[in-house]
Amino acid sequence: MRRILLTTSFLLLPLIVAALSTSCGGSKSSNQAHSSAAVRSTYQSFWQAYMKPDPEKTCSLLTTRGRRIFLAKIQSSGMGFENGAPKTCSDGVKAVHKLLTTLSISPRLTIRKVSVNGDRATISWSTRSSASRGTGTTRLVYQGGRWLIDEDGTG
């Protein structure tokens, strides 16, 4: 059971991790906003919001599609939740964070590679904790003047 919970937790982490945006338009040039540094910053900020947790900030950095994918992964994970599977992104972030806390899992993130192609970006990452390791790829899109997580997949 613990192995299933750990695996599921790591499946959900990259989706949460990639979404925060520091490129909110305004004074940044298009080249700066579309740089790998901007994408990396978004992902790192997202990770911080997720691990804090700050569910509202975390979910605001997901596209509509990204929120649907996140919830679907939680709902199909088989993880046992006190009040059933979460029905909102915010509740999902809280539930996964509670699980990580209960299991004393505090994963560290390493961003391995960032690729930007116009309004799309991909981040390859890895996580490591005392309990396990995980790798994955997260896709972001540039919408409304900022990077948002759109699709997540583990490696």
pLDDT digits (tens, 9 = 90+) for 71-94: 898 888 877 677 778 889 999 999
**Helix, strand or coil, per DSSP, at residue 56:** helix
CATH architecture assignment, domain 2-154: Roll (3.10)
Contact 57, 28 (CB under 8 A): no
Residues 14-53: tens digit of each pLDDT: 444 333 333 333 444 567 778 899 999 989 888 889 889 9
* pLDDT the model gives residue 26: 40
Q: Which residue has the tokens 């994970």?
A: 77
Could you tell me how many residues make up the chain?
Answer: 155
Q: Residue 116's pLDDT band (boundaries 50, 70, 90)?
A: very high
Q: Which residue has the tokens 């539930």?
A: 95
Global confidence as pTM: 0.75
The domain spans of the chain are 2-154
- 133: pLDDT strictly greater than 80: yes
Q: Residue 119's pLDDT band (boundaries 50, 70, 90)?
A: very high
98-102 average pLDDT score:
84
Burial of 120 (0-12, 13-18, 19+ CB in 10 A): middle
